[in-house]
Amino acid sequence: PIILAIESSCDETSAAVIADGQLLSNITATQAVHTQYGGVVPELASRAHQQNVVPVVAEALRVAGISKQQLSAVAFTQGPGLLGALLVGSSFAKSLALGLNIPLLGVNHIQAHILSHFIEEPRPKFPFLCLTVSGGHTQIVQVNAPSDIKILGETQDDAVGEAFDKTAKLIGLPYPGGPLIDRYAKDGNPKAFAFPVVEMQHLDFSFSGIKTAFMYFLKDKSAEFIAENRNDICASVQYTLVEILMRKLRKAVRETGITEVAIAGGVSANSGLRNALTAEAEKRHWNIYVPRFEYCTDNAAMIAMTAHFLYQENKTVGQNASPMPRMTL
């Protein structure tokens, strides 16, 4: 089957074409409009998706060398995400599928982050563990099959991506601050400053405490101090966040005995996390899977990959399928 997939859950408009599980194209338009507001503005995101969706889809088809008439199905991100943003992608996908008289596939964005590992080699073997770390999610899941995913633990408050972005904002970095913290951390000392961490039960996470601790840390610091110590501050914040993630990941491996370990989602682009995971893998003989950078943050390639599995499982949706802003796994 040849499937066109559209992602529009947040601030990336993306389209991809996959043929028999082989990715043919993946085109993404990132919305720059939000930077000046320090976060994603939902109404502006919807408008930008409306402007981008037609050219992005056209480009994805062109690069793939596929005409609309050759498509077997159209897939879209059904949730979770911003309602207005999801509506643009789903409406577009629905009309296209209706016009071509082909099936429609509604994809869970978080399942797609996890299944992004199947876009190319090396592909993890089932069952594997996946640490999903993004702007809205922080979970450790056990993946038994593409559509059999068990949540072992998750955040009880903020997502780790949010923690990166909010701490970055507190020291005056533009949105999204995660990648900037990563960049400055490379030249800083991760042990320069210590932030208290609350230990959560089981395999759950909490990131709201560190944000508060960081606010207190900054309270009596001058702008000069922050500027002079920017790299050390970023390195210390990143070290703390990565340690929280790694501690739970080690625990999950111990408890399940599974040593196939993947990371997914926007924060899996973080070099501190990647280095910590690589070091751990060597020490404890894990097989680790880290997505290519373009498949870490939001993209339609992962939606297309998931749609490929859903198509095989005959899991199509009807024209009445509506966006699910709080869709869960």
- What's the min distance (Å) between Cβ of 297 and Mg ion? 6
Query: From the CB of 181, what's the least distance to ligand ATP, in Å?
Result: 6
Residue number closest to ligand ATP, CB atom: 266
Q: Is 41 annotated as a binding residue?
A: no
* 90-149 residues near ligand ATP, rule: CB under 6 A: 109, 113, 134-137
Residue 10 binds ligand ATP, judged by CB under 6 A: yes
Could you give the count of Cα atoms lying within 13 Å of 67 in the half-sphere of its Cβ?
2
Strands 260-264 and 128-133: parallel
Q: How far is the CB of 300 from ligand ATP (least distance, A)?
A: 12
Cβ contact 137:159 at 8 Å: yes
CA distance 59 to 74: 16
Contact between 207 and ligand ATP (CB under 6 A)?
no
* Token pair belonging to 69: 């008439």
What amino acid is encoded at 25 in this protein? S
Q: Binding to Mg ion (CB under 5 A): which residues in 280-309? A: 298
Site string for ligand ATP, 250-289 (x = CB under 6 A): ---------------xxx-xx-------------------
Select the binding partner of residue 323 from Fe ion, Mg ion, ligand ATP, none (C-beta < 5 to 8 A, by kind).
none
SS3 string, 200-241, reads CCCCCECCHHHHHHHHHHHHCCCHHHHHHCHHHHHHHHHHHH
Q: Are 126 and 309 in contact (CB under 8 A)?
A: no
CB count within 10 Å of CB 137 equals 22
Q: Between residues 102 and 149, which has the closer beta carbon with respect to ligand ATP?
A: 149
Number of residues that bind ligand ATP (CB under 6 A): 24
Please give the structure tokens belonging to residue 208.
């709201």
The closest alpha carbon to 297, from 92, 13, 94, belongs to 13
Decide: 89 and 6 in contact? Cβ < 8 Å.
yes
Judged by CB, which is closer to Mg ion: 10, or 61?
A: 10
DSSP state of 34: G
308 near ligand ATP, judged by CB under 6 A: no
Residue 268 known to bind ligand: no
Q: Which residues bind ligand ATP (CB under 6 A)?
A: 9-10, 80-81, 109, 113, 134-137, 161, 164-165, 176, 178-179, 182, 265-267, 269-270, 297-298
Annotated binding site for substrate: 132-136, 165, 178, 182, 270
